[in-house]
């Protein structure tokens, strides 16, 4: 099976990506309820039982709310999470998947991938981003796919992971002005902007200005807020990134749209 990477959707109403390499198919987050997930998988011709494992970043519903639906169809699914995340999900949803526990910050091998779960600052028990070192396919080089959403600010670890990525999924959650204008209560606005909230458009841009992401071939901006962001605004911010790196592919994910195309 050739290397492929698809983001089925990424926003606060659900995150789920499909990564295929070395004959394995894994999901990054399962934030889609079953009808939505089954539709996304069908577009790719994937049966639930063909999924080898799911890797969960944290216990918020937009990242793991679809686990019960998927586990009903695929009870043997391996679910990778750290202990705190597994505990919260197991407790909240009364499901007992076959947990594969990892330690945040400790790389491990799984299904041919070299997985690096790294800490991200977010208001969850022990949230992580993932870097997947993928096995080389027949025609190409080994690639690193890095998933980094739901982070209140950029840490040195996150910065280093962004620099090492071939394909980077980066949060670009809110536009400052739209968040100010939104009807959200003040405490929620503060939480979103807080050190353990979400990365806004300016935060994402600051990171991209800072890093020497020489390996980066495809930048995916995700987890946009439906109410407080627009793809056109994020696209505008990316103009200088595109100018500096004309060869870089940049995709901005519309929070209202599920997709299926290969991003590799
Ligand atoms: Zn989220
Ligand atoms: Zn979250």
In tens, the pLDDT along 19-74 reads 999 999 999 999 999 999 999 999 999 999 999 999 999 999 999 999 999 999 99
Ligand nearest to the CA of 15: 1
Say what the pTM is.
0.96
Ligand nearest to the CA of 63: 1
Q: What is the pLDDT of residue 183?
A: 93
Ligand nearest to the CA of 13: 1
Ligand nearest to the CA of 85: 2
* Count, residues in the chain: 264
Q: What is the pLDDT of residue 37?
A: 97
- Interval between CA 137 and ligand 2 midpoint (Å): 33
- Interval between CA 198 and ligand 1 midpoint (Å): 8
- Interval between CA 46 and ligand 1 midpoint (Å): 24
Residues with Cβ–ion distance below 5 A, ligand 2: 60, 150
Distance between CA atoms of residues 234 and 117, nearest Å = 27
- Residues of the chain where predicted confidence (pLDDT) is lower than 50: none
- Interval between CA 171 and ligand 1 midpoint (Å): 9
Look at residues 123, 130, 75 and name the one whose alpha carbon lies nearest to residue 107.
Answer: 130
Q: What is the pLDDT of residue 76?
A: 87
- Check: CB of residue 218 under 8 Å from CB of residue 166: yes
Q: What is the pLDDT of residue 97?
A: 67
Number of C-beta neighbours around residue 238 at 10 A: 21
Handedness of CA 73, 80, 18, 90 (dihedral sign): positive
- Interval between CA 223 and ligand 1 midpoint (Å): 7
- Interval between CA 14 and ligand 1 midpoint (Å): 7
- Interval between CA 138 and ligand 2 midpoint (Å): 36
Ligand nearest to the CA of 173: 1
Look at residues 112, 152, 111, 108 and name the one whose alpha carbon lies nearest to residue 130.
Answer: 108
Ligand nearest to the CA of 197: 2
Q: Label residue 72 exposed, middle or buried (CB < 10 Å: 0-12, 13-18, 19+).
A: exposed
Q: What is the pLDDT of residue 91?
A: 63
- Interval between CA 202 and ligand 1 midpoint (Å): 18
Structural domains of the chain, ranges and CATH numbers in brackets: 4-252 (3.60.15.10)
- Interval between CA 16 and ligand 1 midpoint (Å): 11
């Amino acid at each position: 099976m050739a290397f492929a990477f698809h983001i089925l959707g990424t926003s606060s109403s659900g995150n789920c990506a499909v990564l295929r390499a070395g004959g394995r198919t894994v999901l990054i987050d399962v934030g889609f309820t079953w009808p939505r997930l089954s539709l996304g998988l069908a577009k790719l011709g994937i049966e639930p039982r063909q999924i080898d494992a799911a890797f969960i970043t944290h216990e918020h519903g937009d990242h793991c709310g679809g686990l019960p639906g998927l586990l009903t169809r695929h009870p043997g699914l391996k679910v990778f999470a750290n202990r705190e995340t597994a505990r919260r999900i197991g407790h909240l949803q009364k499901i007992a998947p076959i947990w594969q526990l990892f330690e945040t910050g400790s790389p491990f091998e799984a299904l041919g991938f070299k997985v690096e779960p790294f800490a991200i600052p977010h208001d969850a028990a022990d949230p992580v981003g993932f870097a997947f070192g993928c096995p080389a396919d027949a025609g190409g080089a080994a690639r690193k796919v890095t998933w980094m959403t739901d982070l209140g600010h950029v840490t040195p670890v996150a910065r280093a992971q962004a620099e090492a990525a071939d394909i980077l999924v980066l949060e670009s959650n809110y536009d400052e002005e739209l968040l100010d204008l939104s009807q959200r209560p003040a405490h929620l606005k503060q939480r979103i902007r807080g050190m353990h909230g979400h990365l806004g458009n300016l935060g994402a841009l600051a990171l991209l200005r800072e890093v020497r992401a020489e390996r980066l071939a495809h930048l995916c901006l995700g987890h946009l807020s439906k109410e407080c962001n627009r793809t056109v605004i994020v696209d505008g911010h990316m103009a200088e990134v595109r100018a500096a790196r004309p060869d870089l592919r940049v995709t901005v994910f519309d929070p209202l749209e599920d997709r299926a195309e290969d991003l590799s």
